[in-house]
Structure 1
Amino acid sequence: MMLKELREKVYEANMDLPKHGLVVFTWGNASEFDPETGLFVIKPSGVDYDKLSPENMVVCDLEGKRVEGEMNPSSDTLTHAWIYKNWADKGIRGCVHTHSAAAVAWAQAGRDLPAYGTTHADYFYGPVPCMRGLTEEEIEEAYELNTGKVIVAGFEERGIDPVAVPAVLVRNHGPFTWGKDAAQAVYHAVVLDECCKMARDTEILSPHCGPAPQYLQDKHYLRKHGPNAYYGQAAAH
């Protein structure tokens, strides 16, 4: 069996989605890319979480073709593949898609998620962008692939670093998050949904509030992610 350890990691990441309340039924998927083989492992399509196992995770190439596995891969496979094809060289090796309610609400509203406070700034360096909706032609031509293309092109057009902002909202659809592996992509999916709830409640309480001051956002993001980051514990030697 190919990529046995990676299958186990991706299985655990997928099981963490319902554990953290990000999915109901089969509304989500997680994957992870292996740079040595150029392949990635992803959840099978439409399979209940209580029926998942490391063995039924599916191995795919960056064209979205199944390389190993008895089941069809996630319907979002080509979106994941396009993200890896374009951003794996930036260290992005894990990807998650959910229909978590709070994040979907912002996507359906077609709005960027503003950086209202330090919780957001700890993980996302600026607003989480909402991409444009796909055209009818893009949907008919290659829906999932074009979803990936809209995400990557949108980041390029807006000059957003996908490492500094490891999340996106796709209009009328929902959130995608990513990270150095599948586990971190799940973590970012949890944080994104919590930030969406916080931002929603902030606007209810103060409809005309603005984003947190840039110097405060800088402090919180850079103390965790900058060259002089000091949050947490030093790695053991």
Structure 2
Amino acid sequence: MLEELKEKVLQANLELPKRNLVIYTWGNVSAIDREQGLVVIKPSGVPYEKLKPSDLPVIDLNGNKVEGDLNPSSDTATHLVLYKAFPEIGGVVHTHSPWCTKWAQACRAIPTFGTTHADYFYGDIPCTRPLTPLEIATEYEKNTGDVIVETFKNLNPNDIPGVVVHSHGPFNWGKDPMKAVENAVIMEEIAKLAFYTQSLSPHAEQMDHHLLDKHFLRKHGKNAYYGQKSQKVNN
């Protein structure tokens, strides 16, 4: 079942240690088959180097295991909330990458200081509010997803494909699992740049909104002109 999707999810998970986003088993990637309403996700606590496609559990959107012998990631409920709330995404990744996690532990959004940020995220990368004691005690992982969705009530998740969860760490998403990982890699670099910017200049101002618009929209707007058009080139 979903063998091609399992292979994509496996390769995306293997990118996490390669890209220095995780150590040990500190992260997970999933992907969804929208037609079938099924999610493939990393199994809980299994080292990346030991993963095989057949190890990856298949889960429905209610959290029921449809296929697989291993338990799914403990963060599965968070992934499911995001898939339900953000219908255009196809992959989700969670890590404890150090630079993004610094901002999460400081309970701060990642400010928009420069064009590197603006090329990929259309504004500040938000930090969620803290979960209440009741939210932590009951359905913690689902409530983590809910607080992310709450944070994006007035934001477009396609324009800002990531968040830092208060006192926890980053979640990212994308059109497919590898794009979600790419967004996680980029957000980690942006978090590092922002940290050093504030270290060098504690009162650094955020970038001009005209420059933010230019850099984001030339890549992602309806009249985007960055890169090459997908067409066959005749020699």
| Aligned-partner residue type, residue 30 of structure 1 | V
Q: Deviations over 1:192-224 (max 9, x none)?
A: 110010000001111001111101110110011
TM-score, normalization by structure 2: 0.97
Q: Which 4+ residue blocks in structure 1 deviate beyond 4 angstroms?
A: none
For 2:11 and 2:93, locate their aligned partners in 1 and report how far apart those are by CA, in whole Å.
13
| Partner SS for 1:131 | coil
For 1:174 and 1:64, locate their aligned partners in 2 and report how far apart those are by CA, in whole Å.
22
1:7 maps to which residue?
A: 6
Q: Pick which of 9-18 and 50-59 moved more.
A: 50-59
Structure 1 residue 63: Cα displacement: 1.5
Q: Deviations over 1:97-133 (max 9, x none)?
A: 0000000000000001001001100110000000011
2:22 maps to which residue?
A: 23
1:51 correspondence with 2:46: no
Superposed, 1:24-43 pairs within 5 Å as: 24-43=23-42
| Partner SS for 1:47 | coil
1:149 correspondence with 2:177: no
1:228 correspondence with 2:220: no
Superposed, 1:111-130 pairs within 5 Å as: 111-130=108-127
| Aligned-partner residue type, residue 75 of structure 1 | S
For 1:100 and 1:195, locate their aligned partners in 2 and report how far apart those are by CA, in whole Å.
12
1:183 counterpart (178, 193, 203):
178
| Partner SS for 1:8 | helix
Superposed, 1:79-228 pairs within 5 Å as: 79-88=78-87, 91-156=88-153, 159-228=154-223
Q: Which runs of 5+ in 1 are unaligned?
A: none
For 1:165 and 1:225, locate their aligned partners in 2 and report how far apart those are by CA, in whole Å.
11
For 1:57 and 1:122, locate their aligned partners in 2 and report how far apart those are by CA, in whole Å.
33
For 1:130 and 1:233, locate their aligned partners in 2 and report how far apart those are by CA, in whole Å.
34
| Aligned-partner residue type, residue 27 of structure 2 | G
For 2:49 and 2:161, locate their aligned partners in 1 and report how far apart those are by CA, in whole Å.
28
Identity %: 56
| Aligned-partner residue type, residue 131 of structure 1 | T
| Partner SS for 2:139 | helix
Structure 1 residue 54: Cα displacement: 1.0
| Partner SS for 2:138 | helix
2:65 maps to which residue?
A: 66
For 1:58 and 1:71, locate their aligned partners in 2 and report how far apart those are by CA, in whole Å.
6
For 2:71 and 2:226, locate their aligned partners in 1 and report how far apart those are by CA, in whole Å.
42
Structure 1 residue 170: Cα displacement: 0.4
For 2:9 and 2:148, locate their aligned partners in 1 and report how far apart those are by CA, in whole Å.
22
TM-score, normalization by structure 1: 0.97
For 2:203 and 2:66, locate their aligned partners in 1 and report how far apart those are by CA, in whole Å.
51
| Aligned-partner residue type, residue 174 of structure 1 | G
For 1:64 and 1:188, locate their aligned partners in 2 and report how far apart those are by CA, in whole Å.
25
